[in-house]
Chain A
Amino acid sequence: MTEAVPTSVRAPGDENLPRVRSLIVGSRMMLAANTTLQLTFLFAYLYLRANNFGGMWRPGVGTPAPGITLMILLVPVVTTLVLGAAVGVAGRGDRRALTRILGPALLLGAATIAVRVYQLYHTGYDLAAGTYVDIAVIWLAVILAEFVLGALWMVSIYNSHVRQTVVASHSHVRALFEYWLYATVVAVVVSGLIQFVT
């Protein structure tokens, strides 16, 4: 192993590392990987439904609780819209306005998690009620985990911005917006699939 390091230079100085571009490209690559994950669950869902092995796809007669369906669908959508507005504000470089808009976004993010947790525990079935419930619950749990990650990302941007340790740049907010938009679209599509393709 190399034990001695020659006199070396301090990083950069003669160049500006394109970190911003790395953040955006990295975030999109993560979404690409996420797409494979979602397709994995979509394949499993449709495979099990199409084959309906032993008539065990959906043997029970329960119905997923529809009570707060609208909220489950709307809260992440509204959060996405607020984040979209935050992207515009960040682009203008208005720090105070960005602080004002990130706060509500954060609350909406927390609300998203709350309604998704409620959805997870109110499918209307227990877990031994066939593969429909199995795949639906695990898929919803994965989406919940994605919203939790998104919310944590939001918290880190908000806290760093408010404490002025890292000012939330346009790229930061844009990457977060793209992530949340992606998760919302997936959540809405999956909720629709689970509701209607039974």
Chain B
Amino acid sequence: MAAVAVATRGTAPPSLSRRLHEWGLALAVVGAAIGFFVGYALGSLAIGDGDNSLGSNAGILLGYSLSAVGFLAGMGFFNYPIARLLGRPVPTADDEAYLHGEGGGLARYFRLTTDHKVIGMQYVVAILAFLFVGGLGAMFIRTELLTPTPTTATAESYLTLVGLHSTLMIFMASAAIIGPFGNYFVPIMIGARNMAFPRLEALTFWLLPPAGLILLSTVFLGGFTTGWTGYAPLADQNVLGMDSYLIAFSLIGLSIMLSGLNMIVTVITLRAPGMRFTRLPIFVWGVFLTSFLGLLAAPALLGAIAMETFDRTYLATLFVPAGGGSPYLWENLFWFFGHPEVYIFILPAFGLIMEMLPVFTRRPLWGYRVAIGGLVGVTVLSFMVWQHHLFVSGLAPALRPFYMFSTEAISVPTGLIYLVALGSLWRARTRFSTPMLFIGAFLFNFLIGGFTGVFLSDVPSDFTLHGGYFVQAHFHYTIMGAEVFALMAGLVYYLPKMTGRTMDTRLTRFQFWAVFLSFNGTFLSLLSVGILGMPRRVISYAQYLQPLNVSATVFAYLLGGSMLLFLGILIWNVVIRPVPAKENPWESLGVEWHLPTPTPVYNFDTVPTKWSLPYEYDTGRVAADVGHPAPALGGATP
């Protein structure tokens, strides 16, 4: 084994570039500011002739674009490509090791680091931050809806609030599972030392902060009234705040696409010897297939945003009927991205749930290949359903049956995945640890989300329910009730591995019941107001809907409180008063749990070559021999 200890490496003083690198985040902020002002000036000057609004739009759009470029330049993302462009020497092994964060320390979490585990942790923080800010938006929305008439907000500011909440949450949901757990565990699970393109992986993360901040800055530019879907022609008519939405969403689209590319290449090319596709952990399958969705769907969003940008700066009329354009074009392009996007949310969550399930049922995953078939089926069909969002938007009637049936057909592979989960639970001696409680809640919530989705795929009922709170509650059941519950399950389950610290069992159990009950209280109320005809994105509503809205708001406050409690437990037990975790608290057979904690910088001393499925709880065989003494099986289950 060619193992060289870190301590043996050079002790030369750090070079100027490394010192600058340490200040990456500060330089990034400076770069962003410079980029914005340069871009704004250039954009305004280049296009502002005779039309101030166009000039301002161009200035803001170019300003934001260059601020993102400046941010990334400050972080050091262009050092490598520029060096290659100029033919300068490639980084030495020491440089790469430094970039990988071999020396350890907290500083690597605040700079460009290429270690997939550090990036996974960075994602944890970013996702929770997005969830927190987006959640605050939800609280404001529910507060406003306590009364049938406007109290604290105007119609426009309410729409901006709704748009900010929804767009931030969509950003969060796009990476909620793949970001933290995919980046951290996929390389380990396939026996790789790192991702195929580590710099690209870091880039996908560092695109998120500028995207979030640019989106939030919309409040200084008049906001945007389109919601997260950015529908034209309203988007063409919106004030400068719309430009924030366009640039922020394009950064997120880029991140989704590049993340997908990196995951696909990693799984295809970096699997350890003996790790066949038929032995991939089901979570890796979920991430792998989702990555195709991201890779192939996000470019449609980027293309559509480029067109909208053109409309807003160059007097193009691609989405403006008066100039020969069509708002339906935006709807088509947006939803060609948008509907696969919802499976980008849920497929990795399914993978994560199925990955954890055997650990708590103490038996192999029932129907491993059926589960893969289900995931593949959802992946393929998800590209064929987007027009169900246009049932009431003037879609040619002859096309409706196809999209109705394709949408309903997707419930078949989804049902297969569900069947695998239920089959794994059947007659199992399930350990109801906290993650298992979240898994159960995931299955319950997604069942409601799935059933309500069937009504929306059906043309006649969609005509009645479209644009109302029924739809809103439906997708909250799938995104929050399923994906965010999977995120919480994953955090409780994997934080002991990721941090060496664990969350308090009693508090997380209490938090689980609080979040489960308050979530269902909130969204069952909203399903009901939806059936009673309350439209979405409208600040006022009929008087008779107030009791249910009050109910939804009270439960929403409890929901917000329980989410804060989760955050509080996490911060308290992991950061402020760390509670050390056992090496393998859940007695998992997965390879990731049989490495030391914290996981070594390059994961394995020697890459394992003999692999089996990680669910052989009937034989007790670990997925692979990783060369470390295996943590004892038999510790108490928290």
Q: A63 at the A/B interface (Cβ < 8 Å)?
A: no
Residue of A nearest to B318 (CB): A134
Which residues of A from 14 to 42 have beta carbons under 8 Å from B? Answer: 14-15, 17-19, 21-22, 25-26, 29-30, 32-34, 36-37, 39-41
Residues of B within 8 A of A4 (CB): 104, 598
The interface residues of chain A lying within 8 Å CB-to-CB of B601 are: 5, 8-9
Among the 9-residue stretches B129-137, B159-167, B308-316, B466-474, the one with 4 or more Cβ atoms under 8 Å from chain A is: B308-316
Contact A26 B261 (CB under 8 A): yes
Q: A48-B326, A156-B81, A159-B87 known; A2 and B499 CB under 8 Å?
A: yes
Verify if B421 is at the interface (C-beta below 8 Å from A): no
Q: Tally chain B residues at the interface, Cβ within 8 Å.
A: 83
Q: Is A74 an interface residue (CB 8 A)?
A: no
B542 at interface, CB cutoff 8 A: no
Contact with A along B330-361 (1 / 0, CB 8 A): 00110010000000000000000000000000
CB-defined interface of B84-96 with A at 8 Å, one 1/0 digit per residue? 1111111001001
Closest 4 CB pairs of A and B: A56-B324, A13-B2, A159-B87, A40-B303
Which chain A residues have a beta carbon within 8 Å of chain B's beta carbons?
1-15, 17-19, 21-22, 25-26, 29-30, 32-34, 36-37, 39-41, 43-44, 47-48, 51-57, 59, 127-128, 130-131, 134-135, 138, 142, 152, 155-156, 158-163, 165-166
A2 touches B498 (CB 8 A): yes
Complex contacts, B261 vs chain A, CB 8 Å = 26, 29-30, 33
Flag if A131 contacts B324 (CB, 8 Å).
yes
Asked whether A26 lies within 8 Å of B196 as measured between CB atoms, the reply is yes
Q: Do B607 and A47 touch across chains, with their CB atoms under 8 A apart? A: no
Determine how close the nearest CB of chain A comes to the CB of B259; give it in whole angstroms. 12
Inter-chain CA distance A39–B269, complex, in Å, is 28
List the B side residues contacting A15 at CB < 8 Å.
Answer: 607
Shortest CB distance A38–B (Å): 9
A9 contacts B499, CB within 8 Å? no
Complex CA distance for A46 and B55, rounded to whole angstroms: 30
Docked CA distance A171–B197 (Å): 16
List 27 A-B residue pairs with CB atoms under 8 Å apart, sorted by A's residue number: A5-B600, A7-B5, A13-B1, A18-B269, A21-B269, A22-B196, A22-B266, A22-B270, A29-B264, A33-B261, A33-B299, A34-B299, A36-B296, A37-B302, A40-B304, A44-B303, A48-B326, A52-B324, A54-B324, A56-B323, A127-B316, A130-B324, A131-B317, A131-B318, A134-B314, A138-B306, A156-B85
- Does B257 touch A at the CB level, under 8 Å? yes
Inter-chain contacts of A25 with B (CB < 8 A): 196, 264-265, 268-269
Evaluate contact between B104 and A10: CB separation under 8 angstroms: no
Bound-state Cα–Cα, A155 to B82, Å: 11
Q: Is the CB of B88 within 8 A of A48?
A: no
Q: Is B605 an interface residue (CB 8 A)?
A: yes
Residue among A1, A15, A41, A135 with max Cβ neighbours from chain B (10 Å): A1
CA distance A22 to B195 in the complex (A): 10
Question: A57 near B324 (CB under 8 angstroms)?
Answer: yes
A1-B499 in contact given A48-B318, A134-B310, A156-B81 (Cβ < 8 Å): yes
Asked if B606 and A8 make an inter-chain contact with CB atoms under 8 angstroms apart, the answer reads: no
Known contacts A36-B299, A138-B306; A1 and B109 CB within 8 A of each other: yes
Known A18-B269, A53-B324, A54-B321; contact A43-B332, beta-carbon cutoff 8 A:
yes
Q: In chain A, what residue has the closest Cβ to B301?
A: A40
Closest chain B CB from A5 CB (angstroms) = 4
Tell whether, in the assembled complex, residue B6 and residue A26 are in contact, meaning their CB atoms are under 8 Å apart.
no
Would you call B529 an interface residue if the criterion is a C-beta within 8 Å of the partner chain's C-beta atoms?
Answer: no
